[in-house]
Amino acid sequence: MLFSFQIFKSIPYICDMQLSVVILNYNVRYFLELCVLSVQKAIQNLDAEIIVVDNNSADDSCAMMQQRFPNIRLIQNKENLGFPKGNNIAVKEAKGEYICILNPDTVVAEDTFEKVLTFAKKQFDLGIVGCKLIDGTGNFLPESKRGIPTPWVAFTKIFGLYKLFPKSSLFNKYYAQHLDENQTGKVAILVGAFMVMERELYNEIGGFDENCFMYSDDIDLSYMALQKGKSNYYFHETTVIHYKGESTVKDGTYMKRFQEAMNFFYKKHFKVSVFFSLFMKIGIVFFSLVKMVQGKVKPKPNPELYLLISDNESTREDLAQKLQKNIERTLLEKGKIVFSQTFSRAKNSEVILDLNSLGFKEAITFLEENKSNSFTLKLLPPESNFVIGSNSSNDRGEVINL
């Protein structure tokens, strides 16, 4: 009996890496450094990459990236191309099976991406996954989960009806109030500060619509995922700090672009009457003016007393010399601290979390658990010479160089 043998050359199986984290930066050098440091920790156990795109920042963002993170891919645009185009440029270079669109003024926990990817892989109809976002004071950001801003839903938002009737399904759709902030579930719209999705879906949708410079791009991308028959998810089991007010100054340019963004979304996806278009223009102007007022935060007085959470006494001494203030030092014990009577009595006080001693997740948890306290909170990034943070979700944040 004759046997014939056929020899096949083995073809190597090319496997995409797990995740590409895309960070689009514009003039937030210190927040970018903090963000990248946290992302580096969060991808240690993953086959992942970080891509930073700079939209022609006037600060030393690019110089910092080249000096501090020489092995991270940095794309330097020669002009400010806007949020959609800047991210699209990066995703074209991405190799990950999943991509994460991440704001530079965010801080992720060490296990954020592992948790989100584990959740994402279990969904058969995956669109986009967002997570729980808090501001620099530890307060939940309601835009972490939203509904489709149809004309009616936008009306309830603009005139604050969602606040008056938070339990009513007729009025509570803008911030997807059918879900509690500590409840995972399907939502329609996610915020562009943190979005995880399959790169294949991103490309199938066409990425962010470059006809929109900024502000409604995340709404549009989320809506396009829904139109592909996918489901978007709010995932509450990991928390990310979003300093929010840092990326955008609430000025006249902001108001103009916000109006343009909302008009862009409505013209693209909804047929509305001339009467309603006029009404929405009035509403958008009103809403934009509110945003501008919110952006003008009255600065808090300088702290009378500082508390450094650190295991390094020399760090306390350096801070005391720089700030010319009395600084107490203590350690976290099982995630808790005991405040001295002096600190508790101080009218204006600030806690500084030393991330050389604490993990990012510990710091995020501390912010969440102390959101109702009277003191302000700042972070000292690992191996860095500045303290950073924000006292409001509407202000530009504060950086203290050491």
Each residue's pLDDT tens digit, 88-114: 999 999 999 999 999 999 999 999 999
Q: 136 near 243, Cβ under 8 Å?
A: yes
CA angle (119 as vertex; 97, 99 as ends), nearest 5: 25
DSSP state of 313: H
Contacts (Cβ under 8 Å, ≥6 apart) of 287:
157, 158, 258
- Count of helix runs (H) and strand runs (E) in the chain: 13, 15
Six-digit token string for 76: 């330097």
Q: What is the mean pLDDT of residues 67-92?
A: 96
Q: 401 near 376, Cβ under 8 Å?
A: no
pLDDT digits (tens, 9 = 90+) for 253-298: 655 666 666 677 777 767 666 666 666 666 666 666 666 665 555 6
pTM metric for this prediction: 0.88
What is the pLDDT at residue 338? 75
Tell me whether residue 2 is exposed, middle or buried, using C-beta atoms within 10 angstroms of its C-beta: 0 to 12, 13 to 18, 19 or more.
Answer: exposed
What is the pLDDT at residue 1? 43
Instruction: Give 61-82 as a 3 state SS string.
Output: HHHHHHHHCCCCEEEECCCCCH
How long, in residues, is the chain? 402
pLDDT greater than 80 at residue 164: no
pLDDT greater than 70 at residue 31: yes
* Residues in a beta bridge with 335: none
What does 98-150 look like in DSSP terms, one character per residue? Answer: EEEEE-TTEE--TTHHHHHHHHHHT-TTEEEEEEEEE-TTS-B-GGGSB----
Q: Determine if residue 146 is left, alpha or beta; phi over 0 gives left, psi from -120 to 50 gives alpha, anything else beta.
A: beta
- Residue 8: which pLDDT band, with cuts at 50, 70 and 90? very low
- Residue 238: which pLDDT band, with cuts at 50, 70 and 90? very high
pLDDT greater than 90 at residue 79: yes
What is the pLDDT at residue 298? 63
pLDDT greater than 80 at residue 34: yes
pLDDT greater than 80 at residue 142: yes
What is the pLDDT at residue 259? 65
Q: 225 near 205, Cβ under 8 Å?
A: yes
pLDDT greater than 50 at residue 188: yes
- Residue closest to 103 by CA, chosen among 83, 77, 74: 83
State the Cα–Cα distance between residues 108 and 38, nearest whole angstrom.
Answer: 6
pLDDT greater than 50 at residue 344: yes
State the Cα–Cα distance between residues 266 and 41, nearest whole angstrom.
Answer: 40
As a whole-number percent, the residues of the chain with pLDDT over 70 amount to 82
CB crowding 251-275: b at 16 or more within 10 Å, else e: eeebbebbbebbbbbbeeeeeeeee
End-to-end CA distance of the chain: give it in Å, rounded.
84
Min mean pLDDT across 109-118, 203-212, 242-251 is at 242-251
For residue 352, the one-letter residue type is I
CA angle (137 as vertex; 134, 141 as ends), nearest 5: 30
Helices marked H in 131-239? 151-158, 161-164, 199-205, 217-227
Contacts (Cβ under 8 Å, ≥6 apart) of 93:
51, 73, 75
